[in-house]
Structure 1
Amino acid sequence: MARKPPPGSLDEDAWIEVIARMDEVYSKLVQDEIALEEKNVELEQSQQFIAGLLSSMSDVLLACDPQGRIEESNSALRTLVGRDEQSLSGSPAYVLLADPHSETQLRQTLASLRHPNASASLEVNFKDVNGAPVPVDVSCTVRSTGNGRFIGHVLVGRPLGELQHAYRQLHEAHEALKRTQQQLLHAEKMASLGRLVAGVAHELNNPISFVLANAHVLDSYGKRLQQYLQAVHGGESHASLQALRQQLRIDPLLSDLPSLIEGSMEGAQRTADIVSALKRFSAVDREALGEVDLNDVIERAIHWVCRGVAPDLQVHWQAVDTPPVRGNAGQLLQVLMNLMQKGVGEQWN
């Protein structure tokens, strides 16, 4: 005959159910503890990452609550003001400033920044470790929660001494770049001129040789005229003068003089034109702008390129009626010559 369990006691099935429930609760506690440990590890890694970022920043940084009390700072700020993290935490940010004007500026700026994403920039003086004022360019930004609630400000700044040094380096680099660019332009111009030397020498040789030959002839003619005039002034007889005139060929000499003089002047003018063109081409200073005939510039470029680097080059060019343009003839000539020389060089290579 089965016995009944005493009043107030649990039967076996109830105990089994209780134990099973306890196992579930314990298992859930273990899982929650594991998840909590993982969250702690992730939180620690995030804190280390943020601490590493703050310590590696060269700019000063501090985070303030809505009343302007410091909640967080980085090592650059602590090094600048000569205070540790513990002494800064909870202190008003205004105690770091070197003068009342800077404090007033910062108070007014922070008071005006209350809306999410609001920001402003200002220049204030911080007190360094020796109490000396250090001008700092500060950018102030509003801190807010995910739902947009205002919780304080973030101030990021850089001492203006570093900025001025960086600007000075940038300015020096820019000036050096401009000088290098001018040198490269001048070197390219001189290189183009150098490639044309052979053609220029040939171009100058023709009129100079012509003038030199005419000068030798004129020298001979001068000696003959001098001999004839000495005979005239010496009182020679008419028959002797006529014989000497025929001997020295004075009449053909006189008829030949105009053409010799004209040819010499033409050769000299041609030489002067070539030298003038070279001076315009090699000039470093900018010439004044004026009306330029493009046909004339193109013809001069073809002429110099053919004379200088490609004497056997066959050029098919036909001038067209174009209105004058306003520009610099010398610079346009140089550009066209560089393009032609590059095209000729690529064709030969």
Structure 2
Amino acid sequence: MSSASRPPLHGPSQIEGMDEAAWVDVIGKMEEVYSQLVRDEIALEEKNTQLEQSQQFIFSLLTAMSDVLVACDENGRIEETNAALRELAGRSEEALRGRPLAELLAGDGDRERLRVALDNAPRRGSTIELELLDAQRQPVPVDFNITPRFSIAGQLVGHVFVGRPLGELKRAYHQLREAHEALKRTQQQLLHSEKMASLGRLVAGVAHELNNPISFVLGNVHALQRYTERLREYLGAIHEQAGADEQARLRAKLRIDYLLADLPSLMEGTLEGAQRTADIVQGLKRFSAMDRGERSEVDLNGVIERAIHWVRKGTAPAFEVHWSAGEPCTIHGNAGQLLQVLMNLVQNAYDAAALPRHSGDNPAPALWVALQCDGDTARISFRDNGPGIASEHLSRIFDPFFTTKPVGKGTGLGLSISYGIVEQHGGRLAARNHPGGGAEFLLELPVADPHSG
């Protein structure tokens, strides 16, 4: 056949009887298949990346867990462990995979408990305490939570054991208990510090109160000592039978007549000073039970009067306090603790009223105290003429350690402790700004039942 009679080899319409339109359609389909393959490959790569990220995330979780983790198949053979378990057992992942979990247990009793737990594990899991052998082959108690694993079809395929060595829990509990004890000791020290501050104010008042009668007694005793020397010299001359002229001379020189006339007043003054001192000590003893839980019938008028008296004598001699005792009002409580509360309120009122004002108007510190017995409730109000309480401080005024005083001038515990004491007495302590100016503290206490015990 000549070349002129052969069909062209390059014409698509001549290949196997396909025309040009069919060939174009085949090429288009091939391009679509290729594009889909590219898309599928990209999606597959994305899925692989996500899978790798998920595996890395799970691996990081297992590594970071401080609790031990073991995943077993339905026969109790180890499939997966975490770093905490491998570190405890002292074995590698390869050495553990496929081994029975029972090999890690310390004794036959633990193995039997494990077998029973696996045979009877509920679908939601259970707990069991087992002893694992550590790297030194020493038993370590571990509290395990057992959770069953299921396939997509819902069939049991194994269990997951997650637990924490009880030794670690015991150490954590021991550390927590030590921290709690340290906190209690610190709290007791702070309470003691605040009580010492209250006691310091009380002692300052007592010292000032005792100063006058003791000074008077000391002055009289010194005078009596001088008189004793004169009497000894004069009586010595009489015993030696000195002449009448010598006795008269000594009598005039030693002023015996004046001495004898002055002795009664000296003795009377000394007794009065000693009695005044005894009265102060006796009054102090009635309010010295701050650290004891003793409770009795307490006259609120007397406690208020003593609180005002001791604060003024101790730290605020120029404090103008407007108070007058009213009708008898008795409550059942601890006199020493109530005195501490009232002294704290009076002292705080003085500290607030003595603060300098921004306006430059600084009136003399003053306090108005009122007691009212209304039915079964005694109400005491303390209103000062200070600048009042800032609105942002009103909600925190009784919080522990909160204080607006300069550093070194207050612990921030006085009002908090007072609040607690009042609550222990079944009462209520509140603070507000008085409409007429200054701060006002309101104390309510239940009145003692006259028919009770």
When normalised by structure 1's length, the TM-score is 0.78
Q: Is 1:115 aligned to 2:129, yes or no?
A: no
Q: 1:272 aligns with which of 281, 306, 314?
A: 281
C-alpha deviations, 1:42-84, integer Å up to 9, x for none? Answer: 1111211211121122221112233333221101111221222
Question: Taking structure 1 as reference, are residues 65 and 315 closer, same or farther at Cα in structure 2, changes over 3 Å only?
Answer: farther
Q: Is the 8 A contact 1:94 1:103 kept in 2?
A: yes
Superposed displacement of residue 263, structure 1: 1.2
| Aligned positions of 1:172-183 closer than 5 A | 172-183=178-189
CA–CA distance in structure 1, aligned partners of residues 181 and 225 of structure 2: 59
CA–CA distance in structure 1, aligned partners of residues 152 and 310 of structure 2: 73
Question: Taking structure 1 as reference, are residues 339 and 108 closer, same or farther at Cα in structure 2, changes over 3 Å only?
Answer: farther
| Aligned positions of 1:210-289 closer than 5 A | 210-216=216-222, 218=224, 248=257, 256=265, 259-260=268-269, 262-273=271-282, 276=285, 280=288, 286-289=291-294
CA–CA distance in structure 1, aligned partners of residues 120 and 323 of structure 2: 72
- Aligned match of 2:58: 50
CA–CA distance in structure 2, aligned partners of residues 112 and 317 of structure 1: 79
CA–CA distance in structure 1, aligned partners of residues 193 and 264 of structure 2: 52
- Which amino acid in the other structure matches residue 333 of structure 2? R
Superposed displacement of residue 215, structure 1: 3.2
Q: Is 1:160 aligned to 2:170, yes or no?
A: no
- Aligned match of 2:90: 82
Q: Is the 8 A contact 1:208 1:271 kept in 2?
A: no
CA–CA distance in structure 2, aligned partners of residues 108 and 211 of structure 1: 90
- Which amino acid in the other structure matches residue 194 of structure 2? E
SS of 1:177 mapped into structure 2: helix
CA–CA distance in structure 1, aligned partners of residues 301 and 150 of structure 2: 70
CA–CA distance in structure 1, aligned partners of residues 45 and 60 of structure 2: 22
Ranges in structure 2 where 5+ consecutive residues have no aligned partner: 1-12, 356-453
Q: Is 1:169 aligned to 2:164, yes or no?
A: no
Superposed displacement of residue 133, structure 1: 1.6
Q: Is the 8 A contact 1:211 1:268 kept in 2?
A: no
- Which amino acid in the other structure matches residue 125 of structure 1? E
CA–CA distance in structure 2, aligned partners of residues 53 and 293 of structure 1: 68
Superposed displacement of residue 38, structure 1: 1.0
Q: Is the 8 A contact 1:214 1:264 kept in 2?
A: no
SS of 1:304 mapped into structure 2: helix
SS of 2:122 mapped into structure 1: coil
Greater helix proportion: 1
Moved more, 149-158 or 89-98: 149-158
- Aligned match of 2:47: 39
SS of 2:167 mapped into structure 1: helix
Question: Taking structure 1 as reference, are residues 52 and 250 closer, same or farther at Cα in structure 2, changes over 3 Å only?
Answer: closer
- Aligned match of 2:439: none
Superposed displacement of residue 148, structure 1: 7.2
Relative contact order: is structure 1 or structure 2 higher (C-alpha 8 Å, sep ≥ 6)?
1
Question: Taking structure 1 as reference, are residues 305 and 260 closer, same or farther at Cα in structure 2, changes over 3 Å only?
Answer: closer
Greater strand proportion: 2
SS of 2:71 mapped into structure 1: strand
CA–CA distance in structure 1, aligned partners of residues 99 and 145 of structure 2: 20
CA–CA distance in structure 1, aligned partners of residues 350 and 158 of structure 2: 69
SS of 1:152 mapped into structure 2: strand
Superposed displacement of residue 104, structure 1: 2.1
- Which amino acid in the other structure matches residue 63 of structure 2? S
Aligned sequence identity (%):
51
- Aligned match of 1:191: 197
Q: Is the 8 A contact 1:218 1:260 kept in 2?
A: no
Q: 1:129 aligns with which of 135, 138, 145?
A: 135
Q: Is 1:63 aligned to 2:71, yes or no?
A: yes
CA–CA distance in structure 2, aligned partners of residues 107 and 185 of structure 1: 56
Superposed displacement of residue 337, structure 1: 2.8
Question: Taking structure 1 as reference, are residues 296 and 102 closer, same or farther at Cα in structure 2, changes over 3 Å only?
Answer: farther
Q: 1:290 aligns with which of 280, 284, 295?
A: 295
C-alpha deviations, 1:255-308, integer Å up to 9, x for none? Answer: 647743541342231353366468x27x7xx31421133443333222222222
- Root-mean-square deviation (CA, aligned residues, Å) is 3.8
CA–CA distance in structure 1, aligned partners of residues 189 and 163 of structure 2: 40
CA–CA distance in structure 2, aligned partners of residues 271 and 318 of structure 1: 21
- Aligned match of 1:94: 102
Question: Taking structure 1 as reference, are residues 343 and 17 closer, same or farther at Cα in structure 2, changes over 3 Å only?
Answer: farther
| Alignment size in residue pairs | 334
Ranges in structure 1 where 5+ consecutive residues have no aligned partner: none
Moved more, 162-171 or 217-226: 217-226
- Aligned match of 1:315: 321
Superposed displacement of residue 224, structure 1: 7.8
When normalised by structure 2's length, the TM-score is 0.62
Moved more, 27-36 or 296-305: 296-305
Q: Is the 8 A contact 2:131 2:142 kept in 1?
A: yes
Question: Taking structure 1 as reference, are residues 337 and 139 closer, same or farther at Cα in structure 2, changes over 3 Å only?
Answer: farther
Question: Taking structure 1 as reference, are residues 155 and 208 closer, same or farther at Cα in structure 2, changes over 3 Å only?
Answer: same
CA–CA distance in structure 2, aligned partners of residues 331 and 148 of structure 1: 69
Question: Taking structure 1 as reference, are residues 277 and 68 closer, same or farther at Cα in structure 2, changes over 3 Å only?
Answer: same
- Aligned match of 1:325: 332
Superposed displacement of residue 113, structure 1: 2.8
- Which amino acid in the other structure matches residue 62 of structure 1? V
